[in-house]
Every structure is written in C-alpha cells, then in structure tokens.
Amino acid sequence: MLNNFFKRLLLPLLIILLAFGVYQYLRPVPSVTPVSQIATVPQTKAINLPWPGSGQEAIGAHGYGVLASHNTDTPVPIASIAKIITALAVLKQKPLTPGSQGPTITLNGTDVDLFNYYYSKNGSVAQVTNGEQISEFQALETMLLPSANNMADSLARWAFVSVNAYITYANQMVKTMGLNHTTVGDANGFTDTTTSTADDLVKLGIAALDNPTIAQMVNQSSAQVTGSGTIKNTNWLLGTDGVVGIKTGNTDKAGGCYLFAAQRNVSGRKITLVGAVLAVPQINDAISAAKPLIEASDSGFQLIKVAYSGQTFGYYESKWGTIVPIRAAKDLSLLVWKGQDIKLLNKPTTLRAPQKSGANAGTLTAQSGQQTASSSLVLGQDLSKPSWHWKIFRK
C-alpha cells in the first residue's frame, strides 16, 4: 500500500520538478553590471607667462575659455573695445547674412552733429554728410577698423532708436553672455563709462570671433567704404604672429587697451588664442605686451595621451562566473592647458549576454577645462551566455 502511495505521488512530483526546471530555464538571464576602474591620468604644471609690469591681462582660447589672468579683480575702462559690444548688439538687432552689405543707412543732421562733437574732443571720427547713404556692413567697418566714435553712436541710434535704448539692451546682452563684470555706459568707450575686466574681454573676444561678420572685419588691414575711401585698421599687429584681430582702444583714463586673437599651431592642432591687455600707459604698450604673451602661450599647451587603445577600464563579472575586461577602443589624447586638472569619466553600460568581443560597452571621456575627447569602451572578449544547467539550478 505504501509503494502505491509513493507511485501516485511520484508523477505529480516529477511534473512539478519539470515545470520548475522549465520555468528556471526560461527565466530572463540577469543583466551583467560593470565594475569600473579609473586609471591614473598625468597632470601638468602651469607655466609662468610674461605679464606686463602694469595693468591687467588675461589669456584664453576658442573652445577653452579663460586660461590664465593677472590682476583682474577690478573692472576698468576699456576704451574703444566697447565697439565690439556695439557690433554684437547691432548684429543681433539687425542681422547680416554672410557676404551681404545689409540695409542702407541714411545719415542725417544728428549724425553730422556727432561727427562735429567727437572731432572737437579729438576723438577718432569718420567724416559724414547730411543725406549720406552707407550700408550696415560698411558702417560697422567704419566703426571697427579706424574706430570712428561717431559711427558707433550712429549705428546705435539706427538699430535702437537712441543711444540710451542701446545701453539698456547692451547691458542685458552682456549679462546673458556671462560677462558679469562688464557695464556698458556708452556705444564707443570714449566716455570711459564702459568698464570690464580682462577675463570678461577674453569671453567677449571669443563671442566676436563666433560672429562671421565681425571675424571677417577685424581681420582686414583696410577696407574701401563709400564716401570715406580707404579706411585702415588701427591694429598694427594684424598679420604678425598669427594675429587675426580684434580691437584696440585708448583714452586718457583707460590708457592703452588691446583685445587680440591669434591663430597658433600647437602639436599639429590649430588653436585660436584670445587675450586682453588693459590699463597700460599707451596703446602701443598694450599691443607690444601682447606679442610675448602670444608667443609664450604656445608652451602653455601640451598634447596628453590619457588612454591607450586596449587599456583596461573595468570588467564585467556575470553571476555564472564569466569575467570579461572592458577596454578603450582607441587612443585618447587631449590638448590641455598646463596646470588645469585632467579628468577621466568612465561610463560603462549594463549589458545582457551574449555579446561578442568588441561590442560597445559604454564611453570613456577625458575632460580638462572646456576641452573634451571621447572613446568608446568595448568588450575585451566574448561575454558568453550561461550554461543550461546554471539556468536551471541558479538561485
């Protein structure tokens, strides 16, 4: 009788065991979670730049932001560098398509009065006549190259109805640009009420180069303008040491001011350096101080290899015992400014088996300041699926 009882019990038990085995086998295989390993990255030592003995200065680069500065705690008058702010504001209000002259501006008696006023004050001017017509493009050239104070005011009036309305707009614009130590008090810098720091001006210069119209203009040594003939750029360093702009400035209170940009080739990579020199005695002092800063800055950059193709940055360890390395897919190099921290951000992803060797396993990003470079992470070998008996007998 006991035998019969076990026989009757055996079939349901076998069915239960079979069902459980099928259930276990068909259960989803768990994802494989990565374990990250961060490699040591080389660090660099900051260089000493040849700052002038007076004034305040800053150096930066396109794509890098401000890199180094000297004595930039207090905003100071920036003289005619203010006209770069005016140009950006006018072009936001009255955009120009590349290669276009833009709308025609008809000058009137007020514009003639502006010329007479700045001429009487010994300011930089461009002569104008009542009823004269000039394109927006040529008006901007006249403001930026020979640094005509009257044309800055005329452009502000044309684009914003009044200089006061322009000032309100420009102060909002510079705050939006992150120029938190910049105050706009006029359209041309002549009154010394437009103040900034060298750090802010590096940011301004980068923004100016991002505008194709301004970048084109400030890289011209001269231009032909209707009514004025040939106008010449006040930036006498243009074309030397890769200099491609941007703006000079000089008043009795501001002293010499220079916002400059220079294209450099460092370790086979192109860098657009942007710098500012403010509050030195004369404009020639400011321009002369820029030259050694430009040349010395080349040695401030260094190409660093932060990861190697095939370098291990972690591993996957599955619950069924497989261990698979995570590796960089390629060499990873970064052109860094010496002294800035270099960070590696290792972001492997969770995977499901099976995966072939070389399958994407996430990203590896090197970061230094505003510069970044990335590589894929890949599997160093196959990530196999679990065996049938593991799937059945797993916990």
Q: To which residue do tokens 């730049």 refer?
A: 49
| Residue 395 confidence (pLDDT) | 74
Q: Mean pLDDT throughout 344-348?
A: 92
Local confidence band at 6 (pLDDT 50, 70, 90 cut-offs):
low
Contact criterion met (CB below 8 Å) for 297 and 265: no
Residue 48 above 80 pLDDT? Answer: yes
Contact criterion met (CB below 8 Å) for 312 and 327: yes
Three-class SS string for 310-359?
Answer: CCEEEEEECCCCCEEEEEECCCEEEEEECCCCCEEEEEECCECCCECCCC
- Of 238, 88, 217, 226, nearest to 152 (Cα)? 88
Spatial strand order of the sheet with 343-348 comes to 34-36, 312-317, 323-328, 371-379, 360-368, 343-348
Structure tokens of 371? 């510069």
Residue 59 above 60 pLDDT? Answer: yes
Which pTM was predicted? 0.89
How many residues are present in the chain? Answer: 395
Roughly what angle, to the nearest 10 degrees, separates helices 82-93 and 163-176?
Answer: 90
Q: To which residue do tokens 């104070």 refer?
A: 149
- Of 213, 203, 215, nearest to 243 (Cα)? 215
If one compares 5 and 29, the residue with the highest pLDDT of the two is 29
Contact criterion met (CB below 8 Å) for 228 and 254: no
- Of 287, 341, 227, 66, nearest to 58 (Cα)? 66
Q: Mean pLDDT throughout 342-364?
A: 94
pLDDT mean across residues, the chain: 92
Local confidence band at 144 (pLDDT 50, 70, 90 cut-offs):
very high
Q: Is 372 helix (H, G, I), strand (E, B) or coil?
A: strand
Contact criterion met (CB below 8 Å) for 218 and 208: yes
Burial of 230 per CB tally in 10 Å (0-12, 13-18, 19+): exposed
| Residue 227 confidence (pLDDT) | 81
Q: Mean pLDDT throughout 292-305?
A: 96
- Of 193, 200, 206, nearest to 167 (Cα)? 193
Residue 40 above 90 pLDDT? Answer: no
Local confidence band at 392 (pLDDT 50, 70, 90 cut-offs):
confident
If one compares 73 and 24, the residue with the highest pLDDT of the two is 73
Cα–Cα distance, 325 to 194 (Å, whole number): 58
Cα–Cα distance, 315 to 346 (Å, whole number): 12
- Of 28, 37, 35, nearest to 353 (Cα)? 28
Residue 1 above 60 pLDDT? Answer: no
- Of 233, 209, 210, 212, nearest to 221 (Cα)? 233
Contact criterion met (CB below 8 Å) for 41 and 343: yes
What does the DSSP 8-state code read for residue 230?
Answer: E
- Start-to-end C-alpha separation, the chain: 37
pLDDT digits (tens, 9 = 90+) for 84-103: 999 999 999 999 998 899 99
Spatial strand order of the sheet with 243-251 comes to 65-70, 56-61, 269-280, 255-266, 243-251
Q: Mean pLDDT throughout 333-345?
A: 94
Please spell the DSSP secondary structure of 95-112, one letter per residue.
Answer: ---TT---SEEE--HHHH
| Residue 24 confidence (pLDDT) | 54
Cα–Cα distance, 349 to 234 (Å, whole number): 56
Local confidence band at 10 (pLDDT 50, 70, 90 cut-offs):
low
What does the DSSP 8-state code read for residue 192?
Answer: S
Cβ-Cβ contacts under 8 Å for 54 (sequence gap 6 or more): 279, 280, 281
| Residue 222 confidence (pLDDT) | 97
| Residue 95 confidence (pLDDT) | 97
If one compares 21 and 299, the residue with the highest pLDDT of the two is 299
Share of the chain above pLDDT 70, in %: 93
| Residue 286 confidence (pLDDT) | 98
Domains of the chain: 24-39+311-393 (no CATH), 56-303 (3.40.710.10)
- Of 279, 285, 266, 250, nearest to 337 (Cα)? 266
